[in-house]
Chains A and B, each alone.
Chain A
C-alpha cells in the first residue's frame, strides 16, 4: 500500500483526454473494415480488381492495401481533431472498433469473399 501511495504521489501524470486515443482506435477499425471491403469488392468485380492493380507485379493487392491504409489515415486525420479535447471513452471506441475489425477480417476471409467471385 505504501508503494502504491508513493507511486501515486511521485509519478508525473500529464493531463491527457481520452479523445485522441478513441480517435486512433476508431480509425484502426475503419481501416480494417476498408481492407475487408475492397478485398471482397475486388473479388466480386474484375473491373474493380483491375482498377486496384496499381502495380502489375503485386496485382490487385497493391491497390487494396494502399486504399485501406489511405482510408485509415484519413479517418484518423478527421477523427483526431474532432475528439482531441473530448473525454470520449475508449471502452465505447473499442467496442465499435472490434465490430469493424471483425467485419474487416470476414471480408478478407477467402471462404467468404470467394462467394462473390465474378464469373
Chain B
C-alpha cells in the first residue's frame, strides 16, 4: 500500500493544493458576502478582515501552487512520448482520445486564469480592506472575480479527476 513519486505529486497537485483552493472557496465567498454594515459589528470587523485577508492570500497561493505543480511537474509525465504515458494511452483508443483532445487541452490552459483572478481578488481585499464594507459595488466586483476564479479551477479540477480515472499518471 504505497504511492510512487509521480502519484504523490499527482496527489499534492490535485487533492492537496487544488482541493484546498476549491474547498476554501465557500468560506472566502461567505466572508466577502457578509461584509455588509448590517452584518458586522465594530468589534468584529478587525478580526473578520484579518481572517479574510489571510484566507484570500492563502487561496491565491494555493491556486498558483496547483497550476505550477500541475504544469511543471505532473504534466511532463502525462505527455511523455512513450507507450505507457497517460497521453499516449488516451490517444491510442478512439473512445478515450477526446479525454486528451478536449478535456486535457482545455484544462491545461484554462486553469491558468484561476490564479490570476484569485490574485486580483487577494489584492482587492488587502488593498481596500474595510472599505469593502462601505462600497458594495467593489465588494460585488471582488465576488464576481472570485466566483470566476473558482469556476475555472473547478473545470480544470473536474477534468483532472476524470482523466486520472481513465489514464492515471504512473
Contact = CB atoms under 8 A, between A and B. Distances in A.
Contact of A6 (B41, B110, B137, B141): B41
B45 interface: yes
B27 interface: no
Contacts, number: 121
A35 B112 contact: yes
B102 interface: yes
B42 A57 contact: no
Nearest to A95: B141
A28 B110 contact: no
A4 B123 contact: no
Nearest to B103: A110
Contacts of A14: 129-131
Interface in A56-103: 57-59, 61-62, 64-65, 68-69, 72, 89-91, 93-94, 97-98, 101
Nearest to A31: B116
How many B residues are at the interface, by size bracket? 35 or more
A10 B89 CA distance: 63
26 contacts: A6-B42, A7-B45, A8-B37, A9-B42, A11-B42, A11-B45, A11-B133, A14-B130, A18-B138, A21-B138, A28-B116, A35-B112, A36-B109, A55-B72, A64-B109, A90-B137, A91-B141, A94-B145, A98-B144, A101-B113, A101-B148, A105-B113, A105-B152, A108-B106, A110-B102, A110-B106
Interface of A: 3-4, 6-14, 16, 18, 20-21, 24-25, 27-28, 31-32, 35-36, 39, 55, 57-59, 61-62, 64-65, 68-69, 72, 89-91, 93-94, 97-98, 101, 104-105, 108-111, 114
Given A25-B120, A28-B119, A28-B120, 9 more contacts: A18-B135, A18-B138, A58-B75, A61-B71, A61-B75, A68-B112, A105-B110, A110-B102, A111-B102
